[in-house]
Structure 1
């Protein structure tokens, strides 16, 4: 199952077999480092930690080792191989020149779009002109133990040759494409409206949409735009006209919005713009893409043979060869020959060659992730292999799943599994066991209602959950290792709704998930592919809404009920409007969810939502400031926290100098506190007897074997979590998603 770039097992993929005795290069290098006293010898002077440029210099026992900026050799799943020039200066003054080969594992870096290469192992040292190769390899293994380097994901992608990968089971069903030359917003309803009474008010609320769509006793429809502007219509087709707000009793029956977490306040919108023309409303009961322009379409040339419509928030292009119009929606291209009215889906390998020349900056930069062979598309492929992890204490982890009424289950087609149709988080039944994926962590229980405990392994049948099931996204979450006291979980971007299609990144599976109508008049609606204002975010490797238009036009967006439906990992859920931007009026505002991260407040020992939010904004500022330096410099400027420029011949642009593996910053607080209390404590108590054996057995046996069983040909490295999400009321909260009802 080629769902991601991940490959089976670090030792298996690279060396052909699992290793528990240190016989493979990876484990042997670690064992050699430990036997030589890695990290403990007083003679070790890691000078490179204070050096901000390449080459990096280390000293040990009278020998000086000078390492040039590494060059990229290969990447295999999360394992990356690097090569670097090496000079060994002996105590007697004799100098030997050669090369060294290192292997490391990719993890998410501190800055959006960065990768940390950690768990460095010296695989080979060559000194053609003489010198003790074995002694040099042992010394370098000691000196680099616990160190890492940072680099831009784009820098790796720029040197990659990638075979196009496609997630199995993706659907490319044609959405309805509607083009309007007036400012219009889209309200998506999952099928014909399902109505439930709002207490004894005589009003009804539509339950199979995240938007506030009401009907009064006279069968007149009402929607709320922004926080206070109401529109009404005799039919869903319109026209929609200004209307007075419903009575206070109706508003009270709708309930109140979720309370922001302690210490987190709303970010005021600055410079909001009120449009001069009225905003029209389009209510759609099937998957729909809206192209709304502010007046007649206006086109500008963006590259040879390609024009862009400039007065729309959508990606709408016009080509001369062929003579056609093109729309990009959720990473998928649709074309209409000029003079024709019918749109059709176009596979990525049939796009016009001119699309490869779309600008890499500005509004079309995100579109390049949907063009095979571009740097952005390669970066998306690489991002698909990056994992996020968290280690949870068995004694403290709590599953917060709830049901609307008694638990209800339905079969998952093609499997012997059942899934919960009225639960607030994915619940899957396998035989006499129930499994719940709550905020990217798996729990298990002997009944649908608990008691829930952390889950060490998943049934193999979970790997066969098809993309046509609304449970599909949870197949990208897996337990990867465990101890007596804790379990480590990992996920890749498929959990957030970003998948690969012929070497490009797309949002959503392309399959429309039917609404489940519950006996109490409620509806369970699942994340949808179309109808949200999203674009590819290269920093995170996921799809995110563009916040600009929400900031400019907050008062004209259809409001959402309780801030939308559950994301279940789809960080966007589908609680945003299309057309003139976002429809989320919660405390997220312009932050949105383009740095969405399930392992946030709930799993980081109470780390405050406000602090996570501030750190996220700081990360974005640092990333923006660093981008030009990272990609435009000459040489290898780096060091602790340093930012490398473009390397020399064969070098990797954007590589920092060596620095300690990131273990003590905010991003790693959760992992490190848990590891200090559990894995590290247990490892240190039994270092010589258990560290390699226990860790490698767990890592290779549980992580590689178990994850491979659950995800097909895949491997989970354990990168450091990036603390960039917030979880409210036990639910995943992206900028537009949430558990609020």
Structure 2
């Protein structure tokens, strides 16, 4: 019986897998050379439908696949609306092929790898039993044994309307300090009370450790010097009035000739400020945000809404004329105020409906990804929920944990667990065992210093750590599979501090985690910062599925507030953690040798944490390809050029009952017994309790949504391709570029 209820179709997350590629004929070849550097461009996009000739001479036409289930993002089920025309036949038989496959997502390369492709069901309602048996044999021969790849961008865009993901609880919505300036300005932040340490080898010259600026101090009481690009400002008080200087103290010439002070040395002697414009210096000892407007706000009306965009601001700033309220977006959260001077309050939960009506194609359209209820926001949430996985060799991977002094642990509030505070490694004490999470891999040991081995399991208690803890992000790394030789680990975006909350995707928990200091008599302090939510002008990049820092001079030359230095009291050395601690480039984790050592190592990872391992770790998509590379090529070799007349339409959809639908002249029709009939006629045969008009309306709406999903997935894919072709600046608002650090 043909069931036309829309509920059966609504169960289908309709994925337009338009970028299917693979190693077999009829598919795009494997990526090489420049294609690997431009993953979006490397995804071949052959037009659908695609026609193939079977060994028996039949013509099989495959339309765009539709995903019905993506279980745990590791196994997929899809429907393929198909046409089967036996040799010598004039009319095709329409039906549905259901296939299953194991999947491995690779966000960095915008791919989902499919392996172990299997036919789960074949439903051609117009074929006889013998014909269906013959067709099944041909279809079975058609499927290739090698792996296939499809575009993750297209997949998530298509699934966004159907996947309803739950928010994570426990985040705070407290507004940070928000400064707004209509003059040139910079935000000088220290992570807690400003703390200084001597510049190695330079008597009488100190630097402020816990800031992301070149901030030096001379004398007692101290006179501060702040570098802004090629110029310097000075002040008697860190929160006082800053004035430009044309000459620096003589000790500045003795700054070490290393990477830590390269840019500071290049700014000597000080260059005069352009147009004598002295920037206003705003100071905060906690993460804050800065909105810089080039003069009075330039308000650009947004068509079809009551909103206005401030086109001359360095960040996302809007005004709603309906309620005379300002709206500011940072770290995926909206804050509102009746006056630009504040006070500001959390607004993501009561954002005006007009924000969902912001059009595409404008410089401010990027904010749609942070507006609850938009397709872009749903796509961002879905992408954030897909794990990045890797296979970790038990014998080839290890970790060596060091501490600043003897290991010290503090309790995780509300639990019986504790975490190490005087190390740059994540070490958690659970049930008498010490678990180390390092670059996406869990290790276990009996002592805080090890030895550590690859962990088979992680205690369930670990996943009860609340967001108020600075090690909360460990709850987003899990064990997916174990064997005698390897363990499969995976992490979702929460490991990189991007979370699902308030109907959208946010960066950071909203909590402020004070840094940890180690004070030893006779030595400068050692500084251990934690991740912060604010203080970087963080915003979401839909093209890359990640948050990025403002990375401009308004927030300092080295990224966000937590990009301070980590000091080694024995060697007198330190390292600036700009690339390691801000959200720019998705992630970065820093490991520093303890007081007894003198080697520093920084992992600045773009896209896939597992790539930071030198050996013993293989990303899952790569493993899938290598695992099937030796298999025989599939039977997709007899490609039929051209298309049958009935296959010219691009808008053909299927459901699990074997029904096939297509759109003609704006109207949806269903195939029935060799002909296409209006869905109103087909609805008359439906025996459900709903009336025919209700059934037809729901079915039409469902089919329209599926068609829109396909179109949107293509648009997202092309947008990603253009973004990668245009480079990093192509992903940013024009108003933000002028604040970027010159390279």
Provide TM-score, normalisation by structure 2: 0.65
Partner residue of 1:599? 610
The question of whether the paired residues in 2 share the 8 Å contact of 1:473 and 1:569 is answered with: no
The question of whether the paired residues in 1 share the 8 Å contact of 2:559 and 2:578 is answered with: no
Cα deviations across residues 160-199 of structure 1 (Å, max 9, x unaligned)? 1454632211111121111111111212222222334445
Cα pair distance change 1:482/1:74, threshold 3 Å: closer
Cα pair distance change 1:46/1:225, threshold 3 Å: same
Cα deviations across residues 455-492 of structure 1 (Å, max 9, x unaligned)? 22111111011111110112111232233222222111
The question of whether the paired residues in 1 share the 8 Å contact of 2:79 and 2:96 is answered with: yes
Structure 2: tracts of 5 or more residues without a match: 1-10, 12-21, 30-44, 263-271, 566-574, 589-602, 619-647, 652-661, 664-702, 715-727, 729-739
Instruction: Please give the alpha-carbon distance, in whole angstroms, between the structure 2 residues aligned to 1:488 and 1:100.
Output: 31
| Most deviating of 333-342 and 185-194 | 333-342
Cα pair distance change 1:281/1:121, threshold 3 Å: farther
Cα displacement (A) at 1:388: 1.0
Cα deviations across residues 260-294 of structure 1 (Å, max 9, x unaligned)? xxxxxxxxxxxxx9854333322211231211122
Instruction: Please give the alpha-carbon distance, in whole angstroms, between the structure 2 residues aligned to 1:177 and 1:655.
Output: 37
Instruction: Please give the alpha-carbon distance, in whole angstroms, between the structure 1 residues aligned to 2:610 and 2:559.
Output: 33
Cα pair distance change 1:247/1:429, threshold 3 Å: farther
Partner residue of 1:71? 66
Cα deviations across residues 630-666 of structure 1 (Å, max 9, x unaligned)? xxx9959xxxxxxxxxx9875534889xxxxxxxxxx
Instruction: Give the paired residue count.
Output: 551
Alignment of structure 1 residues 282-431 onto 2, 5 Å: 282-303=282-303, 304-338=305-339, 341-348=342-349, 350-431=350-431
Cα displacement (A) at 1:46: 6.3
Alignment of structure 1 residues 158-173 onto 2, 5 Å: 160-163=161-164, 165-173=166-174
Partner residue of 2:153? 153
Alignment of structure 1 residues 3-152 onto 2, 5 Å: 47=26, 52-58=46-52, 61-62=55-56, 64=58, 65-73=60-68, 75=70, 77-78=72-73, 79-90=75-86, 96-104=93-101, 107-108=104-105, 115=112, 120-128=117-125, 129-130=127-128, 131=130, 133=132, 136-137=135-136, 140=139, 143-151=143-151
The question of whether the paired residues in 1 share the 8 Å contact of 2:111 and 2:149 is answered with: no
Cα deviations across residues 495-536 of structure 1 (Å, max 9, x unaligned)? 111111122111101111122222332222111100002210
Residue 384 of structure 1 aligns to a residue whose secondary structure is helix
Q: Choose from 193, 214, 217 the match for 2:216.
A: 214
The question of whether the paired residues in 2 share the 8 Å contact of 1:368 and 1:376 is answered with: yes
Please say if 1:564 is aligned against 2:577.
yes
Please say if 1:529 is aligned against 2:530.
no
Cα pair distance change 1:383/1:287, threshold 3 Å: same
The question of whether the paired residues in 2 share the 8 Å contact of 1:569 and 1:598 is answered with: no
Structure 1: tracts of 5 or more residues without a match: 1-13, 15-38, 260-272, 576-591, 608-632, 637-646, 657-723, 725-735, 737-741
Instruction: Please give the alpha-carbon distance, in whole angstroms, between the structure 2 residues aligned to 1:275 and 1:150.
Output: 50
Instruction: Please give the alpha-carbon distance, in whole angstroms, between the structure 1 residues aligned to 2:230 and 2:404.
Output: 29
Cα pair distance change 1:250/1:425, threshold 3 Å: farther
The question of whether the paired residues in 2 share the 8 Å contact of 1:403 and 1:423 is answered with: yes
The question of whether the paired residues in 2 share the 8 Å contact of 1:401 and 1:438 is answered with: no
The question of whether the paired residues in 1 share the 8 Å contact of 2:100 and 2:118 is answered with: yes
Cα displacement (A) at 1:431: 3.2
Cα displacement (A) at 1:299: 1.6
Cα displacement (A) at 1:371: 0.8
Cα displacement (A) at 1:215: 2.8
Instruction: Please give the alpha-carbon distance, in whole angstroms, between the structure 2 residues aligned to 1:476 and 1:396.
Output: 24
| Most deviating of 461-470 and 366-375 | 366-375
Residue 363 of structure 1 aligns to a residue whose secondary structure is coil
Please say if 1:225 is aligned against 2:227.
yes
Partner residue of 2:457? 457
Instruction: Please give the alpha-carbon distance, in whole angstroms, between the structure 1 residues aligned to 2:503 and 2:280.
Output: 37
The question of whether the paired residues in 2 share the 8 Å contact of 1:122 and 1:137 is answered with: no
Instruction: Please give the alpha-carbon distance, in whole angstroms, between the structure 2 residues aligned to 1:394 and 1:152.
Output: 30
Instruction: Please give the alpha-carbon distance, in whole angstroms, between the structure 2 residues aligned to 1:138 and 1:550.
Output: 65
The question of whether the paired residues in 2 share the 8 Å contact of 1:309 and 1:316 is answered with: yes
The question of whether the paired residues in 1 share the 8 Å contact of 2:605 and 2:612 is answered with: no
* Rg larger for: 2
- What root-mean-square deviation, in Å, do the aligned CA atoms of Structure 1 and Structure 2 show? 4.2
Instruction: Please give the alpha-carbon distance, in whole angstroms, between the structure 2 residues aligned to 1:186 and 1:463.
Output: 36
Cα deviations across residues 592-630 of structure 1 (Å, max 9, x unaligned)? 9895331224346799xxxxxxxxxxxxxxxxxxxxxxx
The question of whether the paired residues in 2 share the 8 Å contact of 1:300 and 1:309 is answered with: yes
Cα pair distance change 1:319/1:377, threshold 3 Å: same
Cα displacement (A) at 1:544: 1.0
The question of whether the paired residues in 2 share the 8 Å contact of 1:537 and 1:594 is answered with: no
The question of whether the paired residues in 2 share the 8 Å contact of 1:275 and 1:553 is answered with: no
Alignment of structure 1 residues 466-477 onto 2, 5 Å: 466-477=466-477
Cα displacement (A) at 1:45: 9.0
Instruction: Please give the alpha-carbon distance, in whole angstroms, between the structure 1 residues aligned to 2:346 and 2:144.
Output: 50
Partner residue of 2:544? 540
Alignment of structure 1 residues 661-672 onto 2, 5 Å: none
Instruction: Please give the alpha-carbon distance, in whole angstroms, between the structure 1 residues aligned to 2:274 and 2:322.
Output: 36
